Chains A and B, each alone.
Chain A
Amino acid sequence: MKENVILSFEDLDIRFSLRGQVLNAIRGVSLDVYRGESLAIVGESGSGKSVFTKSAIGLLDANGTIAGGHIWYNDKDLVTFRTEKEWLTIRGKEIAMVMQDPMTSLNPLIPVGDQILEAVVLHQGLRGAAAKRAAVEALRAVGIQEPERRYKQYPHEFSGGMRQRVVIAIAIACRPKILICDEPTTALDVTIQAQILDLIKELQQKLELTTIYITHDLGVVANVADRIAVMYAGDFVEVGRCEEVFYDPRHPYTWALLSSLPQLGVKGENLYSIRGTPPNLFYAVKGDAFAPRNPWALKIDYLKRPPYFQVSETHKARTWLLDPRAPKVDPPEHIRQLREKGGGRYA
């Protein structure tokens, strides 16, 4: 494993058995997560981004199995983990998680302080008054006023944004190295979203965390991510630094995704939408999974899965359009504008 890589997915293949059929949710995916970076995994609902990250803490649903590949963390292959005991050395301790809906992710019948305390006792090795102090500190660290008083309150006495802060307090009380934020702001209203993202960013720097965001909101990504990995139908179609993906996207799916951003739309015009539906992963995907919805699809896109083509040292995309033999295509209008915005620096 490379020095600066903290978590490495290698040819990961995840399958679910559903109603007697096998669904290939993650199709041979590799990704390196660098120490201290902030990585965003974007993709539409059902693309597999949650499943992909959940596999790293052993929280796949019972009908899901890792059918192949490796997940390397500290020279340990997490894929070989079978027992709960093994996973307990990772969950919380090394990789913690903030979930989507703060309204339901806290136990309604336990004071929030005690729910943080649970993590403190497990991962900081503190007991009694010292543990309690640490839990109060965690509340303070996520910007909750009067933490001593709030400690004893129940989740229903907190607003949505405040509850998400508590969830984050729980996550950081675990003292993890990696923080997975699974749509951390989706359930919150817009004004609160920015606060929560700022909080996570601040904590990331202070605690030297590696953060992985899962989101379908590119606006969130632009604010927080160093790198972006675009997922489509259980595979990363494009991975690159934030500016590279935003200002010089190469995969037609990324083009489509960016074009459908409301921020890029023109007032009065219909918002761009991607035609068709994602492929049915109950059947084996042939070629590029996006080909049937891709107006620029080449013949080979239907036949052979494209490899990654390096665009730069940090930027790669899985599309035959990058093959030297491919015809030159012009990306859609919106994307050309983005390139100009980026000053052509990334093109």
Chain B
Amino acid sequence: MAKYILKRVLRAFITLFFIITILFILLQHMPIEGYFENFDKVSPAEIQVKLTSLGLTDPLPKQLARFYKDLFHGDLGTSNIYRMGVDNLTIIAEKVPVSMRIGLISLALSLLMGFALGIWMAYSTRTTFKIGERLGTLLIVIVQAIPSAVYYILIQFMGSQYLKMPMLFKEDNPISYILPIFSLSIGSAAYYAMWLRRYMVDEANRDYVKLARAKGVADSTISRRHVFRNAVIPMVQYIPGSILGTLVGSLYVESLYSIPGMGGLLVTAIKRHDNTLIRALVVIFAVISILGLLFGDILMAIVDPRISLVKKEGSR
């Protein structure tokens, strides 16, 4: 297992190297106008001074080497436009906790709602009127078919209009968390419900369920001990990624409720040509997705005895 993880981590570094290098080269080819607020009014000499101070006049390999040296020391550079002279990590560290707090709560809520709905739907496929199935499908179709931006606004409007909830986020007002969290969780809840229902219905038709019934196990016990457990396992893989993903925040919900989170940071940084900040963010996001996949695979190997990350002697 340790060997496997080490191998995966090494491979992750190679992936990161490619991502960062390509990004670096791409950013160098951006028009230099972006580095100035009012390019037309700046004299060529001033332009030269600024570009030199940003280190952009050095040859590309030299810039790249400098960047990697800093990265190796854990230095992700300082912002040079967004918040001039402030350490990128400081900027990010201020925003991550806000996004993460909201993200984790909404992840928990979406798992709770999604699993409850999924179980209800799977259960109701065996009843006469299939009420849970029909209502659940309706919700899933609505959530999937309507662009999230539309129902986000609807939730904000309805919540603030009829439930008198605050329209904007305030860190010290717990009630103001409700609408953004609900907005964030409803989409993934529908998604979880859809997959859980599907896996549960699949599992419920398997032979081992028939055998369990034949040996006299009660249906409710079968649902719990056999069907639900086995249905959740293929979904477990995505949980670590989802948890880490909360660091990234949500662009739209955060801007809708003016939450000072990570959501809009990358877009802002790109818009304003803050190359060091862009790089810092991309490095972090790439690490997050690579770790998410790795943890997902490790978790699968832990919960599913059929999966072994280590090649066994003499196995196929």
Does B31 have its Cβ within 8 Å of any Cβ on chain A? no
Q: How far is the CB of B122 from chain A (nearest CB, A)?
A: 15
The segment from A34-42, A87-95, A303-311 that touches chain B is A87-95
Does A97 have its Cβ within 8 Å of any Cβ on chain B? yes
Whether B215 lies near A92 (C-beta < 8 A) is yes
Whether A109 lies near B213 (C-beta < 8 A) is no
Whether B212 lies near A99 (C-beta < 8 A) is no
The residues in B between 223 and 241 inclusive whose CB is less than 8 angstroms from any CB of A are 225-226, 229-230, 233
Whether A101 lies near B207 (C-beta < 8 A) is yes
Whether A109 lies near B233 (C-beta < 8 A) is yes
The residues in B between 196 and 232 inclusive whose CB is less than 8 angstroms from any CB of A are 206-208, 210-219, 225-226, 229-230
Which residue of B210, B219, B305 is within 8 Å of A84 (Cβ)? Answer: B219
Nearest 4 pairs of A and B residues by beta carbon: A92-B216, A91-B216, A104-B207, A97-B214
Most buried by A among B208, B215, B229, B230: B215
Bound CA span A88–B211, Å: 13
Does A201 have its Cβ within 8 Å of any Cβ on chain B? no
Whether B210 lies near A171 (C-beta < 8 A) is no
Does B304 have its Cβ within 8 Å of any Cβ on chain A? yes
Whether A174 lies near B218 (C-beta < 8 A) is no
Asked whether A123 and B208 contact (CB < 8 A) given A107-B230, A154-B306, the answer is: no
Q: Can you list 5 A-B pairs, Cβ within 8 angstroms, ordered by A?
A: A88-B216, A108-B208, A109-B233, A154-B306, A170-B215
For residue A97, which residues in chain B have a CB less than 8 angstroms away from its CB? 211, 214-215
Whether A91 lies near B208 (C-beta < 8 A) is no
Whether A108 lies near B306 (C-beta < 8 A) is yes
For residue A174, which residues in chain B have a CB less than 8 angstroms away from its CB? 215-216
Whether A156 lies near B306 (C-beta < 8 A) is yes
Q: How far is the CB of B215 from chain A (nearest CB, A)?
A: 4
Bound CA span A156–B208, Å: 13
Does B164 have its Cβ within 8 Å of any Cβ on chain A? no
Task: Give 1 or 0 for each of B58-84: 1 = CB within 8 Å of chain A CB.
Answer: 000000000000000000000000000
Which residues on A are within 8 Å of B, measured CB to CB?
A: 57, 59, 62, 84, 88, 90-93, 96-97, 99, 101, 104-111, 118-119, 122-123, 154, 156, 167, 170-171, 174
Most buried by B among A62, A90, A108, A174: A108
Bound CA span A154–B213, Å: 20
For residue B3, which residues in chain A have a CB less than 8 angstroms away from its CB? none
Whether A119 lies near B306 (C-beta < 8 A) is no
Asked whether A91 and B215 contact (CB < 8 A) given A104-B208, A107-B208, A107-B226, the answer is: yes
Which residues on B are within 8 Å of A, measured CB to CB?
A: 126, 206-208, 210-219, 225-226, 229-230, 233, 304-306
Which residue of A84, A101, A118 is within 8 Å of B215 (Cβ)? Answer: A118
Whether A59 lies near B210 (C-beta < 8 A) is yes
Q: How far is the CB of A82 from chain B (nearest CB, A)?
A: 14
Q: How far is the CB of A183 from chain B (nearest CB, A)?
A: 12
Q: How far is the CB of A286 from chain B (nearest CB, A)?
A: 35
For residue B230, which residues in chain A have a CB less than 8 angstroms away from its CB? 107-109
Which residue of B207, B214, B225 is within 8 Å of A91 (Cβ)? Answer: B214
The closest CB in chain B to the CB of A93 belongs to B216
Whether A96 lies near B214 (C-beta < 8 A) is yes
The closest CB in chain A to the CB of B214 belongs to A97
Q: How far is the CB of A89 from chain B (nearest CB, A)?
A: 9
Most buried by B among A62, A107, A110: A107
Bound CA span A28–B214, Å: 25
For residue A108, which residues in chain B have a CB less than 8 angstroms away from its CB? 208, 230, 305-306
Whether B214 lies near A57 (C-beta < 8 A) is yes
Whether A105 lies near B126 (C-beta < 8 A) is no
For residue B218, which residues in chain A have a CB less than 8 angstroms away from its CB? 84, 88
The closest CB in chain B to the CB of A171 belongs to B215
The closest CB in chain B to the CB of A102 belongs to B207
Asked whether A122 and B216 contact (CB < 8 A) given A59-B210, A108-B306, the answer is: yes
For residue B217, which residues in chain A have a CB less than 8 angstroms away from its CB? 92, 118, 122
Whether B211 lies near A167 (C-beta < 8 A) is yes
Known pairs A59-B214, A119-B215, A154-B305. 15 more at Cβ < 8 A? Answer: A59-B210, A59-B213, A90-B216, A91-B213, A96-B215, A99-B210, A105-B208, A105-B210, A110-B225, A119-B216, A122-B215, A123-B216, A156-B305, A170-B211, A174-B216
Q: How far is the CB of B283 from chain A (nearest CB, A)?
A: 38
The closest CB in chain A to the CB of B230 belongs to A109
Q: How far is the CB of B72 from chain A (nearest CB, A)?
A: 43
Whether A109 lies near B215 (C-beta < 8 A) is no
Asked whether A118 and B212 contact (CB < 8 A) given A88-B218, A108-B306, the answer is: yes
Bound CA span A84–B213, Å: 10
Q: How far is the CB of A167 from chain B (nearest CB, A)?
A: 7
Which residue of A88, A99, A109, A111 is within 8 Å of B207 (Cβ)? Answer: A99
Bound CA span A118–B222, Å: 11
Bound CA span A84–B216, Å: 10
Asked whether A99 and B213 contact (CB < 8 A) given A108-B306, A109-B229, the answer is: no
Bound CA span A109–B305, Å: 6
For residue B210, which residues in chain A have a CB less than 8 angstroms away from its CB? 59, 99, 105
For residue B219, which residues in chain A have a CB less than 8 angstroms away from its CB? 84
Q: How far is the CB of B80 from chain A (nearest CB, A)?
A: 53
Bound CA span A47–B314, Å: 44
Bound CA span A329–B295, Å: 75
For residue B226, which residues in chain A have a CB less than 8 angstroms away from its CB? 107, 110
Bound CA span A104–B207, Å: 6
Bound CA span A232–B274, Å: 81
Bound CA span A90–B217, Å: 11
The closest CB in chain B to the CB of A58 belongs to B213
Whether A106 lies near B208 (C-beta < 8 A) is yes
Whether A109 lies near B304 (C-beta < 8 A) is yes
Most buried by A among B126, B208, B210: B208
Q: How far is the CB of B201 from chain A (nearest CB, A)?
A: 13
Q: How far is the CB of B304 from chain A (nearest CB, A)?
A: 7
Whether B215 lies near A106 (C-beta < 8 A) is no
